[in-house]
Structure 1
Amino acid sequence: MMLQSKTPNYADPALHTAGLFIGGEWLPGDGIPVHDPSTGKVLGEVADASVEDAMRAVDAAEAAAAGWSDTPPRQRSEILRRWFQLMTEHAEELARLISLENGKALPDARGEVAYAAEFFRWYAEEATRIAGEYRHTPSGAHKILVDHEPIGIAVLITPWNFPAAMATRKIGPALAAGCTVILKPASETPLTAYAMARLGEEAGVPPGVVNVLTTSKPSDITSRMLQDPRVRKLSFTGSTGVGRVLLAEAAKSVVSCSMELGGNAPFLVFDDADLDAALDGAMIAKMRNAGEACTAANRFIVQAGIHEAFVAGLTKRMAALKVGAGYEAETQCGPMITKNAVKKIDRLVRDAIAAGARATTGGEPLQQDGYFYPPTVLENVSHDTTIAREEIFGPVAAVYKFESEDDAVRLANDTEYGLAAYLYSRDLKRAMRVGKRLETGMLGINRGLMSDPAAPFGGVKQSGLGREGGVTGILEFMEPKYYAIEL
């Protein structure tokens, strides 16, 4: 008789509604409905944590902290490596789960899972490479020794748009550094976070090292955790408005903060750019996750000589995209996350059109079940409209015209944000010259995708503090300790 496999199906939403994950145990509960944005239907309910639950999570993280920080780096590394392998083995199931609760098209969801898993592989390697320092003082009379220690319990708050990658980008370096964590995912997409917790259990993460809780009262819970002196780190990805509030709250207890906030990315195209390459890059930079990304190209700033051809080419490509449920095989552009997201996009587009912009494709919400907005291109957009100032977070490309290099830089920098920017030109000297003048934390030159676990991700101005990923990412979860030595 053939035995049936007991391997769980990670694509099944019911698997991830067991309750809060605290101290290695699943605490039953419900109260927060999770919707399929492709249909508006409820996929299931997850637990709604109270302030008391949050304090249990802090207790669990504290109980596990000493043991985890004392765990040899190689052992921490092997657990992260195993977590990476499990994500890879269950990649298709995880992609379908993300598509169900987030709405993104399956190709995007598959890309996210691969990207997310890489953070565990990268930080599995970095866990064994935490550097120190030993040198002479300038006088030569004494010695300086610098060690790096885990910063302590970390609260990780992640958004709905990349439910796997934003979690692993924080969990990976925190665990590699020797910290214990409390993950609070967005209530729109909590199922993926609980799936990650299950995989972490299987990978060998000790109880209490990773705790996951969902709540309909994020302000109360976060405030209470930040007031607890045992919590020493806050890592947040989300809007600039919420980030400001959290920074003020963290300041009361002088909690170290890493903030990855909003963006308003310019996409500069110069007359000498390769048009097809620029269009390829524009589609990636704009339509990854249907535009629901902080790095998404928001403002297409195109030089006059190539402007008309660029608008025509972008319109043709955007109009050809297949819109539908994220988990349907042919879908290229899935739904927005909520009905309110569609309303916001529609408001921005209507405001731009009222000010003189023209929609060359799209421009109105789709009348069907779910939360859909069609791929849209706007030309002749005024720089004074709201769409030029706010993050669109949807499949809308607003195109602006410029004449000179100075104009391009002025328009690109005319925003409070400074997360990402893109630039297309065949002249590398120009690209580097302009790039030096752009107020941004990241710049893609002749590339529409810049995210990489091996690179420091983050912005300047109102786009955040600190960096995630790369060799610097682990230092966000460590404190340098200086030993002044007399030999």
Structure 2
Amino acid sequence: MSSLQSNGSAVESLDDKIPKIKFTKLFINGQFVDSVSGRTFETIDPRTEEVIAKISEGDKEDVDLAVKAARQAFDHGPWPRLPGSQRRRIMLKFADLINENTEELAALDSIDAGKLYSMGKIIDIPAAAETIRYFAGAADKIHGATLKMSRELQGYTLKEPIGVVGHIIPWNFPTQMFVVKVGPALAAGCTMVVKPAEQTPLSALYYAHLAKLAGIPDGVLNVITGYGHTAGAAISSHMDIDKVSFTGSTEVGRLVMQAAATSNLKAVSLELGGKSPFIIFDDVDVDKVADLALSGTMYNKGEICVAGTRVFIQEGIYDKFLNTLVEKAKAWVVGDPFDPNVHQGPQVDKKQYEKILWFIDQGKREGATLLTGGKPCDRKGYYIEPTIFTDVADDMTIAQEEIFGPVMSVMKFKTVEEVIKRANATKYGLAAGIMTNNLNIANRVSRSIRAGVIWINCYFAFDQDLPYGGYKMSGFGRDFGLECLNKYLQVKSIATPLYDSPWL
């Protein structure tokens, strides 16, 4: 059983880090407002199962108001018309304000999503500020092209903002998903309506407040808190939204795409689920790679779409690697995310907690061997032990479905050809990890796996410059990298006759 932090007075002192909740209302046209209906919903602390705050519940009428504000700001407001250098300066101020409020933002994501406070302070929030700075740097470098035409014409292209964007973001990385959607859209000159997940609304509302302080004009950035089947559906089907960017499950991604198609045929980009292979060849340092394999599944309590939950180990090191992996899993500390000694906090909510436990039971029912973990932790809150299965067949539920929890499936393989085939035997194609010291194997496998991101001798190697997105049912479109700006831009082609042209 993994280590578990006590739930006594030591943890109570950690609660001193919890900030007062300042923003609980919808953010529309630069103001925090109640929902039209006046309804609210509760956001729950997964550490304690207690209510943090009551949040305004946005619905179709509220989305209409937010879209109207965004439309007005796009069609008649200054933001799309500002020189890129001015948008850059405002965005840089936004990034500075994020840095100045790091501790409070990290704490909000800890109490709302169960994320580790220490990681939030040193990684999540500083990285969010850097993401805004990265795209701020692109705001004044968006250019079209001059074309050499085949006839007596002068031709060139303009890159223009696509218009009003609807961002629907998930609960597992509330901060990163907010900035990776909002950053490039702001740089492109778009206006937007953001719907955070109903489980994690707190930091999105705080970012809206900081955006206003930074000088982003009213109506450019609107935040509607509420449920996916109401507020999210209203965004997907809205006739006055030009583009939807969605990150979440494949199931909901289908609904978003259907709604976009049957409304105004708006552009859509989808970053969806994953079931990523983590492939370990027999020439690696077992101890080092075991650490990477464990964190590749358990990081963020397994609530990460690129988690390397299908671990393939070559037969020559299988037994040694498995023993090392189990030892490390038993030393993996589960507990309050404000405790700096903890590796894993609680799952985001009761629904996700129960879903993970169902998958664990399903793995046992289908004949997989539970090697370690597999149980809820004996304490209040949505805590689950890090769980490792062996004897997992490729067609088992736990090897095919995205669990989104701290559950690893371990499989043995012999040859390069075998593991390539098995790694691709999934409907998903988001990421993959390849661990080997053989360059030929690394090159061959990386080119053979159908996934959008391949990490060789590393994992979770995200970077602002590295495009991120999926193949197959993991969606389409890319976040990060300058090319992701193209999601929020459209190309206008312009042609004029040359002097003395027969076109006149």
TM-score of the two chains, using structure 1 as the length reference = 0.94
- Residue 126 of structure 1 and its aligned partner are, at CA, apart by 0.9
- Residue 222 of structure 1 and its aligned partner are, at CA, apart by 3.7
Q: Secondary structure at the match of 1:297?
A: coil
Q: Which residue of 2 aligns with 1:119?
A: 131
Contact 1:10-1:90 at 8 Å conserved across structures? no
**Structure 1 residue 390 corresponds to structure 2 residue 401:** yes
**Structure 1 residue 128 corresponds to structure 2 residue 128:** no
Contact 1:64-1:180 at 8 Å conserved across structures? yes
**Which deviates further from its counterpart, 188-197 or 334-343?**
334-343
Distance, in Å, in 1 between the alignment partners of 2:152 and 2:322 is 67
**Structure 1 residue 332 corresponds to structure 2 residue 343:** yes
Percent identity over the alignment? 37
Distance, in Å, in 1 between the alignment partners of 2:238 and 2:386 is 46
- Residue 242 of structure 1 and its aligned partner are, at CA, apart by 0.3
Distance, in Å, in 1 between the alignment partners of 2:310 and 2:94 is 38
Q: Which residue of 2 aligns with 1:15?
A: 22
Over aligned residues, Cα RMSD in angstroms? 1.6
- Residue 26 of structure 1 and its aligned partner are, at CA, apart by 0.9
**Structure 1 residue 86 corresponds to structure 2 residue 97:** yes
1:292 corresponds, among 303, 318, 323, to: 303
Contact 1:108-1:288 at 8 Å conserved across structures? no
Q: Secondary structure at the match of 1:164?
A: helix
Q: Deviations over 1:110-143 (max 9, x none)?
A: 3221222221011011111112111212x36433
* Cα distance change on mapping 1:10 and 1:331 into 2, 3 Å: closer
2:224 corresponds, among 190, 193, 213, to: 213
1:64 corresponds, among 69, 73, 78, to: 73
After TM superposition, list the pairs within 5 Å mapping 1:184-195 onto structure 2: 184-195=195-206
Amino acid across the alignment from 2:256: L
Contact 1:271-1:305 at 8 Å conserved across structures? yes
**Structure 1 residue 161 corresponds to structure 2 residue 169:** no
**Which deviates further from its counterpart, 259-268 or 376-385?**
376-385
1:344 corresponds, among 355, 360, 366, to: 355
- Residue 360 of structure 1 and its aligned partner are, at CA, apart by 2.5
Q: Secondary structure at the match of 2:242?
A: strand
- Residue 227 of structure 1 and its aligned partner are, at CA, apart by 4.1
Contact 2:59-2:234 at 8 Å conserved across structures? no
- Residue 52 of structure 1 and its aligned partner are, at CA, apart by 1.3
Distance, in Å, in 2 between the alignment partners of 1:16 and 1:438 is 45
Structure 1: which 4+ aligned runs deviate by more than 6 Å?
A: none
**Structure 1 residue 229 corresponds to structure 2 residue 229:** no
**Which deviates further from its counterpart, 120-129 or 273-282?**
273-282
Contact 2:224-2:231 at 8 Å conserved across structures? no
Contact 1:11-1:97 at 8 Å conserved across structures? yes
Contact 2:291-2:328 at 8 Å conserved across structures? no
Q: Which residue of 1 aligns with 2:31?
A: 25
- Residue 397 of structure 1 and its aligned partner are, at CA, apart by 1.4
Consecutive unaligned residues of structure 1, counting only runs of 5 or more, are 1-8
Distance, in Å, in 2 between the alignment partners of 1:209 and 1:32 is 25
- How many correspondences in the alignment? 476
Q: Deviations over 1:270-320 (max 9, x none)?
A: 111232332232133222211100011120011111111221121111111
- Residue 257 of structure 1 and its aligned partner are, at CA, apart by 0.4
Contact 1:240-1:463 at 8 Å conserved across structures? yes
Contact 2:291-2:325 at 8 Å conserved across structures? no
Q: Secondary structure at the match of 1:14?
A: coil
**Structure 1 residue 424 corresponds to structure 2 residue 431:** no
TM-score of the two chains, using structure 2 as the length reference = 0.91
**Structure 1 residue 476 corresponds to structure 2 residue 487:** yes
Amino acid across the alignment from 2:252: V
Contact 2:273-2:402 at 8 Å conserved across structures? yes
* Cα distance change on mapping 1:187 and 1:13 into 2, 3 Å: farther
Q: Which residue of 1 aligns with 2:476?
A: 465
Consecutive unaligned residues of structure 2, counting only runs of 5 or more, are 1-15, 499-504
